[in-house]
Amino acid sequence: MTSAWTAEHVRALGPASSDAALIPPVGAPDRSGLDPARYYWDMWPVQYAAGQRVMLAGRTMWMALTAPDRGDPALRHFEAKIHWIERVGDGWTDCGPVLPDFAVPYEREWAGSALLDDGVLTLFFTAAGTSAKAGGYQQELWASHARLGADGWPQNWSQPAPLVTGYGPHYMPADAHEGEAGKIKAFRDPAFFRDPADGTDYIAFTASLAGSTNAFNGAFGLARKSAAGWELAAPLLHAEGVNNELERAHLVFHAGRYYAFWSTQTVTFAEGLRHAPGGLYGMVADSMAGPWRPLNGTGLVLANPADRPQQTYSWYVDASLTVCSFVDVLPGGGFGGVPAPLLKLTLDGERAHLAALAPERAA
């Protein structure tokens, strides 16, 4: 059953409803350990199938998109490459590209997820653009695999390959070369999830609803693994008439309930709904079949302070309810381009809020 995130849910948002969801102000970004000539954004941990974070060869390894600083942050999307970033104390260290340079038909790597299962590490990612012509917005879901060696580190990555063929009947193709950030259609951000109820594997992803005549037709896409491989399924939920982009769509199982999370920005809401803050939003259900109900009655889980509406973005929640994101717009203007301080959620049925513990200790 596909549920809807509706205009009525979003209209219920107001100053009082968002007070408990405010992200603390972020100070000057810490680039120590990172390349000062590069930007870092959209990040995720290496995880086991149940969502717990993994240590590889005794190291706390995450992944992030990165690109050279060309003086214009918008250009980073067209050179994005996934790098290892290691968590060392309260900081981060760039450990270089995850995948070697393969001969591939896409131009660059956008966000995804990383699964360690039965000694094999799988990188699910977005294959963006086309190698035939630079600067396109084409998107497909791809993966590469590597078995862990005796040293506990992945060895011999497989040739990257698409997870699914085409876009199926439920999703609008994201195959346009030309576009504009915030207005393009989506087929990206694959995030692995294993249903503890029956062991079925899913990929959640950012999508656009097929058959819609509305410019705001964001969807929380879903693919299911069968004996024949990955197969596209109906969306978990959609935001037709509400929002164009449900970015970084992913699933978390906690205390017997299923939680669907996504990130979005004020500018991607439909007209009349742009009072809603950019932030982490979510829904909850008692099973994968739904129905899905908006957390906190509106869907809003975390939001930036009103005086810093774009300070962080691209939130991702793991099984420990630790939330990562990146520093986007600095208080004085300019692009942050580094990991933001980790946060911690508390989930209580249909309510979600920031945990009271210090973020780093809670993580």
For the chain, 363 residues long, give each residue's pLDDT as a single digit of tens: 799 999 999 999 976 455 458 999 998 878 889 999 999 999 999 999 999 999 999 999 999 999 999 999 999 999 999 999 999 998 999 999 999 999 999 999 999 999 999 999 999 999 999 999 999 999 999 999 999 999 999 999 999 999 999 999 999 999 999 998 889 999 999 999 999 999 999 999 999 999 999 999 999 999 999 999 999 999 999 999 999 999 999 999 999 999 999 999 999 999 999 999 999 999 999 999 999 999 999 999 999 998 999 999 999 999 999 999 999 999 888 999 999 999 999 999 999 999 865 455 445
* Spatial CA neighbour of 224 closest among 215, 235, 233, 211: 233
d(CA 209, CA 219): 6
Q: For the chain, list the domains and their CATH numbers.
A: 3-362 (2.115.10.20)
Q: Which residues of 248-262 are buried (b: 16+ CB within 10 A; e: fewer)?
A: bbbbbbbeeebbbbb
Decide if 240 contacts 214 (C-beta within 8 A).
Answer: yes
Give residues with Cβ within 8 angstroms of 249, minimum separation 6.
Answer: 189, 191, 204, 205, 206, 207, 220, 221, 236, 260, 261, 262
- 310-324 per-position pLDDT tens digit: 999 999 999 999 999
